[in-house]
Chain A
Amino acid sequence: MVLSRVSTSSSCSAAVLKPLATALSLRRSISTDTTPLTIETSVPFTSHQCEPPSRSVETTPKELLSFFHDMARMRRMEIAADSLYKSKLIRGFCHLYDGQEAVAVGMEAAITKKDCIITAYRDHCTFLGRGGTLLEIFGELMGRQVGCSKGKGGSMHFYKKDANFYGGHGIVGAQIPLGCGLAFAQKYSKDETVTFAMYGDGAANQGQLFEALNIAALWDLPAILVCENNHYGMGTAEWRAAKSPAYYKRGDYAPGLKVDGMDALAVKQACKFAKEHALKNGPIILEMDTYRYHGHSMSDPGSTYRTRDEISGVRQERDPVERVRKLILTHDLATEKELKDIEKEVRKEVDDAIAQAKESPMPEPSELFTNVYSKGMGVESFGADRKEVRATLP
């Protein structure tokens, strides 16, 4: 039996029927198996001003496999981006998310594409989770026409409005009031949806967070503030930046939950809980205890402010992809080879997307002047030498 691909990538070759092992033929295809399964999270939830959800998470073999597949794809993508950056195909900023995949994947499992997500600049995997394609991602990173922002945004400015992903923001903390604004619009339109506004432990001290949270609480907005606490704001450890690094408690009057952010199932449970809460009672804070393997960005080796032992320790003990692999193997939902095949497949998917993205041209020069406004009204704009380069904005 073939482990059919859960994703809808278009770059797959025709499925090849592999020789059946007897043991395999007795098991239903894991990719469609929706037998309910209950898994206990290894770490309990800690709560502030609310009752925490149960540690027992409902899932299915299909979901666990999709977690593995999606996280493997995210992991592979970020590592490939590292190489592209080093070969100077990606320029400027490149903030990688490897290590934090469980947050993106667990969140998507708890919500719909009608719920909104907004995040900061470490956005590649969040965009992928919202339904973005590898081609759009590598295209944008390399500044090509096929990129999700047509090459005009770059690593920090991915958006996917049709999936309610609102970016992609470079200014630390700005996305939090923006996210509360999305929640305002959802409530105003009686949409019965919520917004997840994601930020890091570095942004958690921003004044505008507290301003926005105050308004969200006063107006009962369905806003969920998600602190992805990877314990370092650039090079500054949380205890050096925050008098109180218990970010889930910092909402004071707003309830909060501390979650093992390396456990996709715990993340899913917390997000499900938060969505129900926010729709009835207004804002809630989720603190995801997570970790990034890379430095802050590609110009940061990530080792001047933390030890290599710490990094490898987390990789050994808490890696989100390994955790799901172990879960799948322990519950005999797939074989090691099947999982390795998925990883091989994902690697090829990523390589193919990069090759295709490399073929895409850079934007036309005329694109310098497009999208300055939604409605340019024929206004004039200028290049560096306005006697040489002028344009009329569409």
Chain B
Amino acid sequence: MGEEVGEYQGAYKITKGLLEKYGPERVLDTPITEAGFAGIGVGAAYWGLRPVVEFMTFNFSMQAIDHIINSAAKSSYMSAGQISVPVVFRGANGAAAGVGAQHSQCYAAWYGSCPGLKVLTPYSSEDARGLLKAAIRDPDPVVFLENELLYGESFPVSAEALDSSFCLPIGKAKIEREGKDVTITAFSKLVGHALKAADILAKEGISAEVINLRSIRPLDRATINASVRKTSRLVTVEEVFPQHGVGAEICASVVEESFDYLDAPVERIAGADVPMPYAANLERMAVPQVEDIVRAAKRTCFRSR
């Protein structure tokens, strides 16, 4: 259920055709009342249904955040397991293009800090398919952070991924590209940027290992730390505001678990510490670019530009 998921075919066409296929009992257009319909979704999950609640963008999830955190995430704990909440909250997250400050925030860090939630960030088409299916099947509340700009990108898809029961494990990162000199972690759209940065770095003799986090919570600390122990250098990449962000958590984890393996301080590339501006040049400065990732990776290798 969500705004425009039915007759409009989805604000971003993600639910296109679903109303025709499954009917109005299962695909429900809601009024513009996030607190109301998010609460209704959680209540339906309490009873035992498996609702998928769409926020047109996660900026609007703030209207319903009490239901995500207090009604959904904490209920299994408070009821000592009597109540499980198999709800999925999904929608576009992070910056689009030119949509301004109120429509561009990334919520990975906020939701990622909350025990009781699972938070997923698909990058490729396989990620989207496998993780969404896993999210719906999961008995716990899942926040599924998509990205509007990724909706328009195409990816090669394996035959296995086309299978109707293809699922990816929750809580496992994917090594998109192996390397040995520096680890670059990223999620969602910036995985693409990290891969491009890795290509540029390769030409300069730096072999970067790119990790697609896929899961913000649970965070795959094991994969990240194993990679850093191999490369001894780390650059974290995210679109979230920098303070208290995903990169801060990854840095802390690595310092705690793999301090002796680090050969350089951990570098963070994140969204600028400002509300998102509209003008195209300022917007470009507010979001990580490929050259930012390249520069940070070189810093860990003690190479100046």
Q: Are B80 and A161 in contact (CB under 8 A)?
A: no
Interface string of B38-69 (1 = CB under 8 A from A): 11111111111101000000000000001100
Q: In the complex the two chains form, what is the Cα distance from A370 to B76 in whole Å? A: 9
Q: How far is the CB of B241 from chain A (nearest CB, A)?
A: 24
A residues contacting the other copy or chain, number (CB 8 A): 52
As a 0/1 sequence over residues 67 to 83 of chain B, the CB contacts with chain A under 8 angstroms (1 = contact) are: 10011000111111111
Contacts of A174 in B (CB 8 A): 39, 66-67, 70-71
Known contacts being A188-B25, A208-B35, A379-B171, is A181 close to B78, with CB within 8 Å?
Answer: no
Of B26-34, B98-106, B119-127, B156-164, which binds chain A? B26-34
A177 touching B80, Cβ below 8 Å: no
B221 proximity list for chain A (CB < 8 A): 380
Q: Is A386 an interface residue (CB 8 A)?
A: yes
Report the stretch among A77-85, A88-96, A164-172 that lies at the interface: A164-172
Q: Could you say which residues of chain A place their CB within 8 Å of the CB of B28?
A: 219
A170, A171, A211, A371: which contacts B33 (Cβ < 8 A)?
A: A211
- The CA of A386 and the CA of B252, in the complex, are separated in Å by 12
Task: Report Cα–Cα, A387/B256, bound state, in Å.
Answer: 9
Bound Cα distance A177, B36 (Å) = 6
Question: Using Cβ atoms and an 8 Å threshold, which residues of chain A touch B81?
Answer: 370-371, 374
Residue of B nearest to A153 (CB): B78
Q: How far is the CA of A152 from the CA of B83 in the complex (A)?
A: 13
Asked whether, in the complex, the Cβ of B76 is within 8 Å of the Cβ of A373, the reply is yes
Minimum Cβ distance to chain B for residue A376 (Å) = 9
Best-buried of B39, B86, B118, B138 by chain A (most CB within 10 Å)? B39
Q: Is B140's CB within 8 Å of the partner chain A?
A: yes
Nearest residue (CB) in B for A216 is B40
A355-383 interface with B by 8 A CB criterion: 370-375, 377, 379-381
Q: Which residues of A contact B51 (CB under 8 A)?
A: 181
**Distance of A377 Cα from B168 Cα, bound (Å):** 13
Inter-chain contacts of B43 with A (CB < 8 A): 118, 166, 177-185
Q: Which residues of B contact A178 (CB under 8 A)?
A: 39-40, 42-43, 46, 67, 71
Taking a contact as CB atoms under 8 Å apart, the answer to whether A372 and B66 are in contact is: no
B31 touches A386 (CB 8 A): no
Decide: B115 and A372 in contact? CB cutoff 8 A. Answer: yes
Query: How near does chain A come to B125, taking the closest CB pair, in angstroms?
Result: 24
Whole-angstrom distance between the Cβ of A144 and the nearest chain B Cβ: 12
Contact A185/B47 with A177-B67, A371-B76 known, Cβ cut-off 8 Å = yes
B82 near A159 (CB under 8 angstroms)?
A: yes
- Please indicate the chain B residues that have their CB under 8 angstroms from the CB of A370 in the complex: 80-81
Say how far B252's CB is from chain A's closest CB, in angstroms: 10
Contacts of A387 in B (CB 8 A): 256
**Contacts A159-B79, A174-B70 given; does A215 touch B30 at CB 8 Å:** yes
Residues of A near B78 (CB, < 8 A) are 149, 152-153, 157, 159, 167-168
A268-283: contact bitstring with B at CB < 8 Å (1 yes, 0 no)?
0000000000000000
Closest A residue, CB atoms, query B28: A219
Q: Please give, as numbers and ranges, the residues of chain B lying within 8 Å of A176 by CB-CB distance.
A: 39
A218 touches B31 (CB 8 A): yes
Indicate if the CB atoms of B31 and A214 lie closer than 8 Å.
yes
The answer to whether B2 has its CB under 8 Å from any CB of chain A is no
27 contacts across the A-B interface (CB closer than 8 A): A116-B47, A159-B82, A161-B83, A166-B43, A166-B83, A168-B79, A174-B71, A177-B36, A177-B39, A177-B67, A180-B39, A181-B40, A181-B43, A182-B43, A210-B36, A211-B36, A212-B36, A215-B40, A371-B79, A372-B76, A373-B116, A373-B140, A374-B81, A374-B86, A375-B140, A377-B171, A377-B218
Extra contacts besides A178-B40, A372-B115 (19): CB < 8 Å = A151-B80, A153-B79, A161-B83, A168-B79, A174-B66, A177-B37, A177-B39, A181-B40, A181-B41, A182-B46, A183-B43, A185-B48, A208-B35, A212-B36, A212-B40, A218-B31, A370-B80, A380-B221, A386-B256
Interface residues of A (CB under 8 A from B): 116, 118, 149-153, 157, 159-161, 166-171, 174, 176-186, 188-189, 207-208, 210-212, 214-215, 218-219, 370-375, 377, 379-381, 386-387
